[in-house]
Amino acid sequence: DPPNPPEPLKYNGTKLVHDSAHPFEAPEPGDIRGPCPGLNTLANHGYLPHNGVASPSQIVNAVQEGFNMEHGTAVFLTHAAHLVDGNLVTDLLSIGEKTSKTGPDPPAPAIVGGLNTHAVFEGDVSMTRGDFFFGDNHSFNQTLFDQFVDYSSRYGGGFYNYTVAAELRFQRIQQSIATNPQFSFIAPRYFTAYAESVFPVNFFVDGRSTEKKLDMEAAALFFRDGKYPTDFHRAAQPSGTEGVDMVFMVHPIAPGGNQDDKVNNYVLDPTSADFDTFCLLYTNFVNQTIRGLYPNPTGVLRRNLIKNLGFFYSGIADAGCEELFPYGKL
C-alpha cells in the first residue's frame, strides 16, 4: 500500500543541511538525474536515493528536510508528478529518464516515463533546460545558463531575484514563441513555469540570509551540478511559491501556444486554467491528463490511483476546489 504522505516538519526553521551526514557525491553511471535542480541536489546529497528513483514519501521528506519546502506544496507537486510520471503499483518515480528500476509498466496509454516525460509535467520555457522540440529537455544547458547570468547582471546587480525572475520568465516565453514551432504554454506547465521561476529565490538562497537574492556561484552549483554550496542552510521558514504573483504581474501572458507548427503564431487557449481559475488546473489535470493515461484501471492500480488522487488533493485542500473521484472511492 502507498503510505500516507509524511507529516510537516516538527522543527521547521533553518539549519545546516550540507552537513557531514549529507556530503556531495556525484552521480555515477546508471544514476538518474533530470530536469529539476532541487531533486538532483537532494539525490546527490543523500536526501534521496542516489540512483534517482524514489517513492513519493521519500520525495516529500527530502524536499521538506533539505529545502524546507512547505508541506502542502511538497505533497501537491510530488503526487502530481507521481500520478503522471511514476509507477503507481510499485510506488516508485524516476527523477529523470524512463527506467526499468521503477518496475513493470502498467498497460498503455500509461507512460511511467519519469520526470523527463514531456508535456504531462515537464514543459517548455525552462530557465536552464531546452525545450523538448530542440532535443534535450532535461540536461543543464550552458547557453541558457549564460542568459540566466546575463539577466541577473542586467536586472539584479549580479544576483537572481524576483525582478530578474519576471524578466527572464518573459524572455524565455518570447524566445520559445519565436523559435519553437511546437511551443506549448498551457496548464499545468503554465503554473509550474511561474512557480519554478521563484524557487531559486525561495529555496536556493541560504536560510541565514534575509536578502532574497541568489549569487551566481550558488546558482551554478544548484542548476549545473546539483550541489549545495559549502555550509548551506535551508530556508528559514516553510516556503513555496512566494513571489509568483509579482513575477506574473510584471508581464502577464495568458495560456496558449504556437499553432499549426508555426513560430511567432502564439494563440490563446481559453480551455487552459490560469491564475484566475486555479481549480480548473486541478480539474483538468484529473479529468484530462490522468484519465487520459488511465482510462480503465483495475485492481491494485485502481486502488493506488484513488489513494494518490486523494494525497494530491490534500496538498491543495485549502483552495476549496471540489474534490473529484473519477475512479470511485475506497
Binding residues for ligand HEM (CB under 6 A): 35-39, 59, 63, 67, 69, 74, 77-78, 81, 115, 121-123, 126-129, 192, 196, 199-200, 203
Q: What's the min distance (Å) between Cβ of 78 and ligand HEM?
A: 4
- Choose among ligand HEM, Mg ion, none what residue 81 binds, the Cβ cut-off being 5 to 8 Å by kind: ligand HEM
* Shortest distance in whole angstroms from residue 200 CB to ligand HEM: 5
CA distances to 52, 67, 231, 236 from 208, in Å: 29, 13, 11, 7
How far apart are CB 129 and Mg ion at their closest, in Å? 5
Cβ count within 10 A of residue 195? 18
- Residue among 80, 36, 189 nearest 124 (CA): 189
| Closest distance of CB 316 from ligand HEM, Å | 13
Contact predicate 103/90, CB 8 Å: yes
- Out of Mg ion, ligand HEM, none, what residue 59 binds, judged by CB under 5 to 8 A for its kind, is ligand HEM
Residue with Cβ nearer Mg ion (68 or 258): 258
Which one of ligand HEM, Mg ion, none interacts with residue 141, CB within 5 to 8 A by kind?
A: none
Q: Which of 76, 9, 151 is closest to 311 using CA atoms? A: 76
For ligand HEM, the nearest residue by Cβ is: 38
The option from ligand HEM, Mg ion, none interacting with 89 (CB < 5 to 8 A, set by class) reads none
Residue nearest to Mg ion (CB): 126
Q: How far is the CB of 328 from ligand HEM (least distance, A)?
A: 26
Using CB distances below 5 to 8 A depending on partner kind, what does residue 199 bind out of ligand HEM, Mg ion, none? ligand HEM
Cβ atoms of 243 and 195 within 8 Å: the answer is: no
Asked if residue 190 lies in contact with residue 272, where contact means CB atoms within 8 angstroms, the answer is yes
C-beta closer to Mg ion: residue 79 or 129:
129
Q: Using the minimum distance from each CB to Mg ion, give the nearer residue, 77 or 88.
A: 77
Instruction: Answer whether the bond into residue 35 is a cis peptide, omega within 30°.
Output: no
For 312-323, letters b (16+ CB in 10 Å) and e give: bbbbbeeeebee
- How big is the CA angle at 66 (ends 142 and 17), to the nearest 5 degrees? 95
- Tell me which amino acid residue 134 is: F
Give least dist CB 166 to ligand HEM, A: 14
Pick between residue 129 and residue 307 the one whose CB is nearest to ligand HEM: 129
In terms of CB distance, is 73 or 126 closer to Mg ion?
126
The three three-digit cell numbers of residue 132, written as one number: 523538448
Only one residue has cell 546587480, namely: 157
Binding site for Mg ion (CB under 5 A): 122, 126, 129, 137
Contact call for residues 294 and 254 (beta carbons, < 8 A):
no
Distance CA 170, CA 249 (A): 11
The Cα 81–Cα 95 span in angstroms is 9
Of the pair 121, 327, the CB lying nearest ligand HEM is at 121
Nearer to Mg ion, 133 or 275 (CB): 133
Checking DSSP bridges between strand 214-215 and strand 184-185, what pairing results, if any?
Answer: unpaired
Q: Which is nearer to ligand HEM, 53 or 329 (CB)?
A: 53
Q: Which three cell numbers stand for residue 61?
A: 521528506
Which of Mg ion, ligand HEM, none binds 36 (CB below 5-8 Å, type-dependent)?
ligand HEM
C-beta of 193: minimal distance to Mg ion in Å? 8
Q: Which does 67 bind (CB under 5 to 8 A by kind): Mg ion, ligand HEM, none?
A: ligand HEM
Question: Measuring CA to CA, how many Å separate 120 from each of 83, 86, 295?
Answer: 10, 11, 16
